[in-house]
Chain A
């Protein structure tokens, strides 16, 4: 079994967010910060799973614009319950990515 990769093991990455205002803002910012990328959003009532292929980034400034108020990147943690892929965190962005592509 080990080594056999099925269709479920695509290169999906992205945040899982508690449903609400912040999730909507992040979705809007992701579209803006990752031009040309296609995002799939699964609505699971309490949480939204947002996924795209391989890599995506979300920037503080873009979220700030989407929210219409000042925003610090660590605040995203309040609503970030999980994520697919690896994470990179700075004061200006969060990036979700994989080191190996299938």
Chain B
């Protein structure tokens, strides 16, 4: 029987709008869920999806895709790859499977919303396929790690992670709830289809596949590129909407949706993709650096697309380019230092050859991040593993939910950007996250980060163990440990500027403890440390005691001592120019408020008595 060509019936098949008789148009498509921009009906009627597919074609193609994915898995199932794969690669798989499958499942709900509330029949049609795509992605990416569960309980996080309150998972969930789950069909299509699926998923699903092939995990490479082939289609949902908005006087609103979601997704993907690419993949198997992948997929391909859509680069573009040099490097340090809170075994990835590579790809790495890791190496060589695990938490950004950190060592860029709003103090990693908050404070103001909860007294008792259990560590599986049991430090013993027995400063140990009831949570911004730290102090401490108390959380952990100098305390200011407090002054006398930020820094002894 002769079949009509698709083009002969496609318009009829996608025209599913009708005139409602029992309810009004605004009840059928409430603005908050459908279109708060009130784009004209004529514009919606002209919505034309660039990537067309009919249901019959969809089923045939998806069947072929699945057959490909499962047959590669079956064919390679008998190989010994996973018996021989190093702990570094297994770490990447655990990170990926913990973070991704249930995010894909959440995206089903997003596409479901668009399939119901998209105002054009053609948009609803594409979203229906998108919904089926995301279901495929979550099922595939739950099925594949399930096979690995018998090897390692940590693979259970593929199913469990999103049901826990692990801080990394909260960070991801907060971002995806924001860009996918809690917006109208127009905005979430721009934020998710255009920004997330066009700019960022390529990094994890295509870029990482190049590394996977080099490592020899063809099953995984085949899986993730197959997933991305769905994204390439349904990601096209957002483009016609941007065109409609720019044509109908809503360009500024479209630009804002782009600016918010681009930054939020960048902050998450730098951790998810940047850390594995630049630290976990064995050096000889690395295809490109994370920065080079960013240049290929985002700075070149995606940026050009923005221009074609008559949109501008986000206003913070230079800040974003700077962040590519820093963000995932300091978070790599944080992930490794807080390894008991992770669901995989973090890789340090900083042997001498790796460091040479990092410094070549990211000029200046050794002069800043090198100091950070040299401190850790000295402590490990001295047998002080305890110093390489964090005893206190960093403040967490109230937008991106990522620990507030920045370039360590002599540049010393870490600082919290703070805002007092309706009686509560909020903390931000950068002016960009603060801008996002200030765009829509009602959206973000009620959420409490894990550290807010600690400071607000929500944990009882307020001990690290309580927090770990809250995160699901020890419940789903044990937390992370160094991926190769610290063998990597032996390369450094007696070489590369390290003595045979390492080094630990006396400042790393402190006998002081907060006593009595006059306590306060403050931020310690310690010179050279890449992480700001949240510390509960005693208001009766002298400034010298405050400095020594804070030093124990940075010296030997992430910052080096500077023998011959003395520690001073000053308030954190934008220009780092506040005068130090007198050393004998009682800390409480400076009238600190909860979560005020203080610098602890090294000064020449001759400065010791300089008054403010």
Task: Determine the residue in chain A with the shortest Cβ distance to B65.
Answer: A78
A45 contacts which chain B residues (CB < 8 A)? 209-210, 213-214, 287
Interface range for A: 35 or more
A2/B209 in contact, CB under 8 A: no
A1/B210 in contact, CB under 8 A: no
| A–B pairs, 10, beta carbons within 8 Å | A2-B317, A9-B307, A18-B225, A18-B226, A46-B221, A72-B57, A74-B57, A74-B60, A80-B232, A87-B236
Checking B50, B64, B228 against A88 with a beta-carbon cut-off of 8 angstroms, the contacting residue is B50
B60/A44 in contact, CB under 8 A: no
B7/A89 in contact, CB under 8 A: no
Contact with A along B3-28 (1 / 0, CB 8 A): 00111000000000000000000000
Checking B51, B213, B307 against A100 with a beta-carbon cut-off of 8 angstroms, the contacting residue is B307
Task: Determine the residue in chain A with the shortest Cβ distance to B233.
Answer: A77
B305 contacts which chain A residues (CB < 8 A)? 84-86
Checking B202, B312, B315, B317 against A82 with a beta-carbon cut-off of 8 angstroms, the contacting residue is B202
Using known A-B contacts A45-B210, A46-B212, determine if residue A83 contacts B232 with beta carbons closer than 8 Å.
Answer: yes
Question: Does B53 count as interface, using CB distance less than 8 angstroms?
Answer: yes
- Which 10 pairs between the two chains have the least Cβ-Cβ distance? A46-B209, A2-B312, A74-B57, A81-B228, A45-B210, A1-B317, A46-B213, A45-B213, A46-B210, A44-B210
Task: Determine the residue in chain A with the shortest Cβ distance to B68.
Answer: A78
A85/B303 in contact, CB under 8 A: no
Checking A2, A46, A49, A91 against B313 with a beta-carbon cut-off of 8 angstroms, the contacting residue is A2
Contact with B along A4-22 (1 / 0, CB 8 A): 0100111110001010000
Question: Does B318 count as interface, using CB distance less than 8 angstroms?
Answer: yes
Question: Does B127 count as interface, using CB distance less than 8 angstroms?
Answer: no
Q: Give CA–CA (A75, B63) in the complex, Å.
A: 11
Which of A's residues lie within 8 Å of B, judged by CB? 1-3, 5, 8-12, 16, 18, 44-47, 49, 72, 74-75, 77-91, 98-100, 102
B211 to chain A, nearest CB (A): 8
Q: Give CA–CA (A79, B225) in the complex, Å.
A: 8
Q: Give CA–CA (A101, B331) in the complex, Å.
A: 39
Using known A-B contacts A1-B318, A47-B210, A87-B236, determine if residue A98 contacts B308 with beta carbons closer than 8 Å.
Answer: yes
A82 contacts which chain B residues (CB < 8 A)? 202, 206, 228, 232, 297, 301
Interface residue count for B (Cβ, 8 Å)? 50
Given contacts A80-B232, A89-B53, 17 further A-B contacts (CB under 8 A): A1-B317, A2-B313, A8-B295, A11-B304, A12-B304, A18-B225, A18-B226, A74-B58, A75-B64, A77-B61, A78-B68, A81-B205, A81-B206, A86-B239, A86-B308, A91-B7, A100-B308
B289 contacts which chain A residues (CB < 8 A)? none
B18 to chain A, nearest CB (A): 27
Interface set, chain B 465-487, CB cutoff 8 A to A: none
Q: Give CA–CA (A44, B210) in the complex, Å.
A: 6
Checking B51, B304, B315 against A87 with a beta-carbon cut-off of 8 angstroms, the contacting residue is B51
Question: Does B229 count as interface, using CB distance less than 8 angstroms?
Answer: yes
Q: Give CA–CA (A1, B312) in the complex, Å.
A: 9
Using known A-B contacts A18-B225, A45-B213, determine if residue A89 contacts B52 with beta carbons closer than 8 Å.
Answer: yes
B52 contacts which chain A residues (CB < 8 A)? 89-90
Question: Does B300 count as interface, using CB distance less than 8 angstroms?
Answer: yes
B214/A16 in contact, CB under 8 A: no
A98 contacts which chain B residues (CB < 8 A)? 304, 308
A11, A12, A16, A100 pick with most chain B CB within 10 angstroms: A16
B315 contacts which chain A residues (CB < 8 A)? 2
Task: Determine the residue in chain A with the shortest Cβ distance to B205.
Answer: A81
Question: Does B326 count as interface, using CB distance less than 8 angstroms?
Answer: no
Task: Determine the residue in chain A with the shortest Cβ distance to B304.
Answer: A9
Question: Does B299 count as interface, using CB distance less than 8 angstroms?
Answer: yes
B299 contacts which chain A residues (CB < 8 A)? 8
A81/B229 in contact, CB under 8 A: yes
Q: Give CA–CA (A12, B307) in the complex, Å.
A: 13
Task: Determine the residue in chain B with the shortest Cβ distance to A102.
Answer: B307
B226 contacts which chain A residues (CB < 8 A)? 18, 78
A90 contacts which chain B residues (CB < 8 A)? 7, 52
Q: Give CA–CA (A40, B58) in the complex, Å.
A: 31
Q: Give CA–CA (A102, B6) in the complex, Å.
A: 35
B169 to chain A, nearest CB (A): 27
Checking B51, B225, B297 against A46 with a beta-carbon cut-off of 8 angstroms, the contacting residue is B225
Interface set, chain B 80-114, CB cutoff 8 A to A: none
Using known A-B contacts A46-B210, A88-B50, determine if residue A77 contacts B287 with beta carbons closer than 8 Å.
Answer: no
A72 to chain B, nearest CB (A): 7
Interface set, chain B 379-429, CB cutoff 8 A to A: none
B307 contacts which chain A residues (CB < 8 A)? 5, 9, 100, 102
Q: Give CA–CA (A86, B306) in the complex, Å.
A: 11
Q: Give CA–CA (A10, B305) in the complex, Å.
A: 11
A74/B300 in contact, CB under 8 A: no
Q: Give CA–CA (A45, B305) in the complex, Å.
A: 25
A96 to chain B, nearest CB (A): 11
Q: Give CA–CA (A100, B51) in the complex, Å.
A: 19
A8 to chain B, nearest CB (A): 5
B205 contacts which chain A residues (CB < 8 A)? 81
Task: Determine the residue in chain B with the shortest Cβ distance to A98.
Answer: B308
B53/A74 in contact, CB under 8 A: yes
